[in-house]
Structure 1
Amino acid sequence: MSSTTPTPPQASLTERRKAETRMEIARAAAGLFVRHGLRGTRAEDIAQSAGIAPRTFYRYFATKEEAVAPLYAAGAQRWVEAVRAAPADDSVPQALEHAVRHTLTPGVGVSASSWEWVRTLLRLAEANPSLRRVWAEVCQVSERTLGEVLADRGTRTGTPEGDDNVAPTLESRFAAAVASAAVRTALEGWAEGGGPVEGPGGPAELALRNLRALRHFPWDA
Structure 2
Amino acid sequence: MSTKPPSLTERRKAATQLDIARAAAELFTERGPDDTTAEDIAQRAGVALRTFYRYFRSKQDAVAPLLAGGADRWRAGLAATEPGTSLPAALERSIAGSLGAEGPEAEEGLRWTRGLLRAAERDPALRAVWYRVNHESEERLRAVLTALAPPGTDPLELRLTAAAATAAIRVALETWSQTDAPLRGEGAPAELAVRCLRELTGGGTRRPAGEE
Superposition TM-score, scaled by structure 1 size: 0.85
Conservation of the 8 A alpha-carbon contact between 1:103 and 1:110: no
Count of paired positions: 207
Q: Which runs of 5+ in 2 are unaligned?
A: 208-212
2:129 alignment counterpart: 134
Partner of 1:174: 160
- Alignment partners' CA distance in 1, 2:174 and 2:165: 14
Comparing 83-92 with 103-112, greater Cα deviation is found at 103-112
Give 3-state SS (helix, strand or coil) of 1:151's partner. helix
Q: Percent identity?
A: 47
- What is the DSSP-based 3-state SS (H/G/I as helix, E as strand, rest coil) of the residue aligned with 2:149? helix
What does residue 219 of structure 1 align with? Answer: 205
Q: Which residue of 2 aligns with 1:48?
A: 43
2:110 is the alignment partner of 1:96: no
Unaligned runs of 5+ in 1: 1-5, 160-167
Q: Is 1:209–2:204 an aligned residue pair?
A: no
| Code of the aligned partner of 1:220 | R
After superposition, the CA RMSD in angstroms is 2.2
Contact 1:143–1:180 under 8 Å retained in 2: yes
Tell me whether 1:30 sits opposite 2:25 in the alignment. Answer: yes
Q: Deviations over 1:128-155 (max 9, x none)?
A: 1101111111111110111111111113
Distance 1:7 1:37, change over 3 A: farther
Within a 5 Å distance, the mapping from 1:187-206 to structure 2 comes to: 187-206=173-192
Partner of 2:172: 186
Matches within 5 A, 1:37-76: 37-76=32-71
Distance 2:118 2:4 in 1: 35
CA distance in 2, matches of 1:29, 1:215: 36
Alpha-carbon separation, structure 2, partners of 1:38 and 1:29: 9
Question: For residue 162 of structure 1, what is the aligned residue in structure 2?
Answer: none
Q: Could you tell me whether the CA contact under 8 Å between 1:148 and 1:172 is conserved in 2?
A: no
| Conserved 8 A contact 2:74-2:94 | yes
Alignment TM-score, normalising by the size of structure 2: 0.89
Contact in 1 for aligned 2:164/2:201 (Cα 8 Å): no
